[in-house]
């Protein structure tokens, strides 16, 4: 398996991580006060903050093999896309599919594809370019789109509210899946399989959701972009960039709720963008929350 892939087991579930690319950002993008950074620098460095005051935003896809099904979560950016407002995503040419193959899973074996939300870096590999057309990458899968999230980005709606960096994403990465008959619009709460469910986590986008898996040996929360960086677990008011969330107040409320729930359940959190080791757990002491990075060891 390539260095950009991770595999471990928890309970009856196998987890794979496929890394597409990394983006270097200044920690100032989180708009954190210097005092907050100083108080947490001892655990942020070196993985979540480097000596130059930067951190890596990792673009990664998670795969779960659970209940006899293979579920792909957040299939990254995709190759060959024109993203003039996002230079780090523009005309990518990565070995994503080769890294995917290194897991031993073939795209045609995938049962479900779930996008926590429809930003371009979470749904790009829904499709790939073949003979000048965008066609589904996972030809035998059911693509699960939360209805309100699909409606958020469907530009044909009269109440569409654009976001320039994400314009056209529905037409490129969702409509071809619908046209192929592989899309399933689901309700806010949706049971995918006995141990797998979709649940709301609104704010970053109108229909942002998480995937929750009961492994029989503990729970896993695939949390998408609820948290972009571990420091947001300490201070839920932090937001990446200006206007990084559709609804800032709702995003903060979701972070507050989820960090408490994940801590209470002693669940493993696997976010969309965290740096090595790419996931971990949340601990609570009174009203103080801390992030404990770490994944189960590979078998």
- Is residue 30 a part of any domain in this protein? yes
Lowest mean pLDDT among 27-31, 156-160, 174-178: 156-160
- Is residue 104 a part of any domain in this protein? yes
Residue 160: predicted pLDDT: 62
Q: Look at residues 118, 83, 84, 78 and name the one whose alpha carbon lies nearest to residue 100.
A: 78
Torsion angle of the four alpha carbons 95, 98, 99, 103, in this order, in degrees rounded to the nearest 10: 170
Residue 3: predicted pLDDT: 52
Q: Which domain holds residue 194?
A: 5-293
Residue 155: predicted pLDDT: 66
| Count: domains in the chain | 1
CATH of residue 170's domain is 3.60.15.10
Q: Report whether the peptide linkage leading into residue 46 is cis, meaning its omega lies within 30 degrees of zero.
A: yes
- Is residue 109 a part of any domain in this protein? yes
Does residue 298 have a pLDDT over 90?
Answer: no
| pTM metric for this prediction | 0.95
Does residue 256 have a pLDDT over 70?
Answer: yes
Does residue 1 have a pLDDT over 50?
Answer: no
- Is residue 135 a part of any domain in this protein? yes
Gyration radius (Cα) of the chain, Å: 18
CA distances from 249 to 142, 203, 272 (A): 32, 7, 21
The three-class DSSP label of residue 139 is coil
Q: Look at residues 172, 156, 71, 70 and name the one whose alpha carbon lies nearest to residue 115.
A: 71
- Is residue 191 a part of any domain in this protein? yes
- Is residue 41 a part of any domain in this protein? yes
Give per-residue pLDDT as tens, 212-239: 999 999 999 999 999 999 999 999 999 9
- Is residue 299 a part of any domain in this protein? no
Q: How many helices (H) and strands (E) does the chain have?
A: 8, 16
Residue 159: predicted pLDDT: 60
Model confidence at 242, pLDDT cuts 50, 70, 90, reads confident
Residue 243: predicted pLDDT: 75
Q: What is the mean pLDDT of residues 78-88?
A: 93
Residue 165: predicted pLDDT: 86
The two three-digit tokens of residue 248, written as one number: 């800032």
């Amino acid at each position: 398996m390539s260095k950009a892939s991770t595999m471990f087991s928890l309970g009856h579930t196998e987890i794979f991580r496929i890394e597409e690319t990394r983006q270097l950002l200044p920690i100032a993008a989180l708009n954190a006060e210097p005092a907050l950074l100083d108080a947490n620098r001892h655990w942020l460095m070196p993985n979540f903050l480097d000596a130059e005051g930067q951190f890596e935003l990792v673009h990664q896809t998670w795969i779960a093999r659970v209940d006899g099904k293979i579920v792909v979560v957040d299939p990254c950016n995709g190759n060959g896309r024109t993203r003039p407002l996002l230079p780090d995503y523009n005309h990518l040419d990565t070995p994503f599919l080769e890294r995917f193959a290194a897991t031993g899973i073939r795209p045609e074996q995938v049962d479900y594809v779930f996008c926590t939300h429809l930003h371009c870096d979470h749904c790009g590999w829904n499709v790939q370019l073949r003979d000048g057309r965008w066609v589904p990458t996972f030809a035998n899968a059911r693509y699960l789109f939360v209805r309100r999230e699909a409606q958020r980005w469907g530009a044909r709606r009269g109440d569409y509210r654009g976001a320039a960096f994400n314009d056209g994403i529905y037409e490129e990465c969702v409509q071809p899946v619908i046209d192929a008959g592989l899309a399933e619009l689901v309700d806010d709460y949706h049971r995918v399989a006995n141990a797998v469910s979709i649940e709301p986590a609104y704010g970053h986008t109108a229909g942002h959701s998480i995937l929750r898996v009961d492994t029989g040996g503990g729970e896993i929360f695939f949390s998408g972009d609820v948290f972009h960086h571990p420091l947001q677990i300490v201070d839920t008011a932090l937001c990446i960039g200006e206007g990084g969330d559709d609804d800032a107040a709702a995003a903060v409320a979701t972070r507050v709720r989820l960090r408490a729930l994940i801590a209470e359940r002693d669940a493993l959190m696997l976010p969309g963008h965290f740096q090595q080791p790419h996931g971990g757990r949340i601990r609570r002491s009174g009203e103080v929350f801390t992030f404990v990075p770490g994944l189960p060891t590979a078998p």
